[in-house]
Amino acid sequence: MATTTVAVATMKVAEVSKPGAGFQIIEREIPEPGARQVCIKVQACGVCHSDALTKEGLWPGIQYPRIPGHEVAGVIDKVGAGVSDWKKGQRVGVGWHGGHDGTCRECRRGDFNNCRNLQIPGISYDGGYQEYMVAPVEALAAIPETLSDAEAAPLLCAGITTYNSLRHSGALPGDLVAVQGVGGLGHLGIQFAHKFGYKVAAVGRGSENAALAKKLGASLYIDSQATNAAEELQELGGAQVILATAPSSKAMSELVNGLGPNGKLIVVGATFDPIEVTPIQLISGSRSIQGWSTGTPADSEDTLHFAELTGVRPMIETYPLEKAGEAYARMMSGKAQFRVVLTM
């Protein structure tokens, strides 16, 4: 009796076998979505600095092998049981917010961003460094047709982080807002701040980014190597908001005195060393420091629509999936202009 063999559909993935290991390009079986899940045919995935948490094992509890990636843009290929609001062929994105439990105290109060059991693509489950990935419906954001996949991907982490933090900052049109760093986060922060109607001061190290910062929408550029940036901001009346995007606690600490009355330092650049500030610095002028994470998929959609409306776009360098290791090294070098994106 003749036997028939069923061909198993496979895909390429870039996985990390253990903390600190390099990327391996291997083939895996294309996953099937479970209940309340979809399978996404990945078109592009941003390479974010936070991917180091997976690559180097800096986040507790990660199970290996693991596929990083939380700036995912693609098309729904299959839907699992119980999925009615999303359809095959629909363009979707997945950012840092990869799902929430809906039952913890924060979720019950609608604060899904601070879910106690928040899922993160590339950490809690396999992310977007692969040709197909499975994600829960709670993680999905619809992508507007006019944004390309490579443009949309970085907006799902770097974009939403800067857009969402600024729109909740309390700054009003016309206020002085400083953006520390002209890099992967900062170049988007400058654009959003300009489109919000703020007077934007870009703060960077060295003069090489001055022309670019002004092209992106900054009213002025402050070279922190050549001058005291906090004093410069005070001469302008003090910043209502300083968006700290470059992961340098020392640079952030040096800017606190640049805040005006009731000014706020918003920290989005992730680093592990402490920010140094004295109680007197905060008490004087009623200043504050606030950390900010990304946002929910609904916030991602707001970010994408605002970018579509105003022309805000990330500056990107693209690499094929097979060169994930090279792309990651380029991102970590700090020399990329400015977001690195894997394309499938």
Q: pTM here?
A: 0.95
Which of 3 and 241 is assigned the larger pLDDT?
241
Kindly tell me the number of DSSP H helices and DSSP E strands found in the chain.
11, 15
Listed in sequence order, the residues at least 6 apart from 222 whose beta carbon sits closer than 8 Å to its beta carbon are 178, 201, 202, 203, 204, 229, 232, 233
C-alpha torsion 144→147→148→151, nearest 10: -120
Give yes or no for a contact between 156 and 138, defined as CB atoms under 8 angstroms apart: no
Q: Please tell me the distance from the alpha carbon of residue 274 to that of residue 14, in angstroms, as a whole number.
A: 33
Concatenating the DSSP letter of every residue in 208-269 gives TTHHHHHHHT-SEEEETTTS-HHHHHHHTT-EEEEEE-SS-HHHHHHHGGGEEEEEEEEE-S
pLDDT for residue 278: 98
**pLDDT-based confidence at residue 7 (cuts at 50, 70, 90):** confident
For the residues 242-251, what does the mean pLDDT come to? Answer: 96
> For 38, phi and psi rounded to 5 degrees?
-130, 155
Percent of the chain at pLDDT > 90 equals: 97
Alpha-carbon distance of 216 to 195, in angstroms, equals: 10
Convert the pLDDT of each residue in 107-162 to its tens digit: 999 999 999 999 999 999 999 999 999 999 999 999 999 999 999 999 999 999 99
Token pair 């076998």 is at which residue?
17
Q: What's the CA gap between 52 and 23, in Å, rounded?
A: 12
- Whether 6 has a pLDDT exceeding 70, the answer reads no
Which ranges constitute the DSSP H helices of 271-314? Answer: 279-283, 297-310
Beta-carbon count within 10 A of 37 CB: 24
Strands 239-244 and 176-180: parallel
Summarised one tens digit per residue, pLDDT across range 30-74 is: 999 999 999 999 999 999 999 999 999 999 999 999 999 999 999
What length is written for the chain? 344
What pLDDT score does 8 carry?
Answer: 83
Domains identified in the chain and CATH numbers: 10-157+313-343 (3.90.180.10), 169-291 (3.40.50.720)
CA distance 35 to 298: 21
